[in-house]
Amino acid sequence: MKNIKELKALQTELVRQQACIIEKNQSAIVIFEGRDAAGKGGAIRRITERINPRHYRIVALPRPTEEEQTQWYFQRYIKQFPKAGETVFFDRSWYNRAVVEPVNGFCTNEQYQTFMNQVNDFERMITESGIMLVKIYMSISKKEQAKRFEDIKNNPLKQWKMSKVDERAQELWDSYTDYKNRMFENTEKGGIPFKVIRANRKTEARNEAIQHLLDSIPYDKNRVI
């Protein structure tokens, strides 16, 4: 009950925050990364369920097309960037190339190294252009991930969530950890840090994600709504 009341209070603040973003013609990008089944989608749903749907988008890109594979890696993400007064939520982002792709052999080592060399400058260009960028990483334990995968497999309404990549996540746990740590280390070289949220407890993690978003983008807390 306490967490539900807290969620409603936080969502009220999100409405205020969004109203300020719209009024000031600002734009924001919020990216969610993390282990498979860590609750990225659930956190995004809690953030967006009360705000104005005309001024936000949720982006979860599929595998790149053959044409996109010939383009600069960041190009297809740039196409999804927000206009003035809009917030875009990425359910996984360009950081696929930092973790998921190298772990699963979806990119070459050269492509991986190029990404790691470019990503901090890419994000610097985003923020210097006036777009606000918030980065959240949802972290869960190996045991909790296994438990959630079992729930997904046994629930007909959730089975669509399970992909071939998900099926290998437990087996490749240590490799994911290694590349995740490299990603964090790279942001320490002048990049924008991730907010790491311990997400074994879903409700608490969602509330913490909302609070971080509220703390990251200034707004008028006294605005009447």
**Tens-place pLDDT, residues 96-151:** 999 999 999 999 999 999 999 999 999 999 999 999 999 999 999 999 999 999 99
Contacts of 223 (CB under 8 A, 6+ apart): 16, 19, 20
One-letter amino acid at 220 equals D
Give percent of the chain with pLDDT exceeding 70.
99
At residue 210, does pLDDT exceed 90? yes
Phi-psi region of 32 (alpha: psi -120 to 50; beta: other; left: phi over 0): beta
Q: In what order do the strands lie in the sheet with 195-198?
A: 56-59, 86-91, 27-34, 131-139, 195-198
**Confidence class for position 224, pLDDT limits 50, 70, 90:** confident
Give percent of the chain with pLDDT exceeding 90.
94
pLDDT at 1: 61
Rounded Cα distance between 211 and 17, Å, is 12
At residue 181, does pLDDT exceed 90? yes
User: Mean per-residue pLDDT for 208-213?
Assistant: 98
pTM score, whole prediction: 0.96
Rounded Cα distance between 28 and 18, Å, is 10
Across the chain, what does the average pLDDT equal? 96
At residue 47, does pLDDT exceed 80? yes
Residue 164 CA from chain centroid, whole number? 21
**Confidence class for position 2, pLDDT limits 50, 70, 90:** low
At residue 3, does pLDDT exceed 80? no
pLDDT at 192: 95
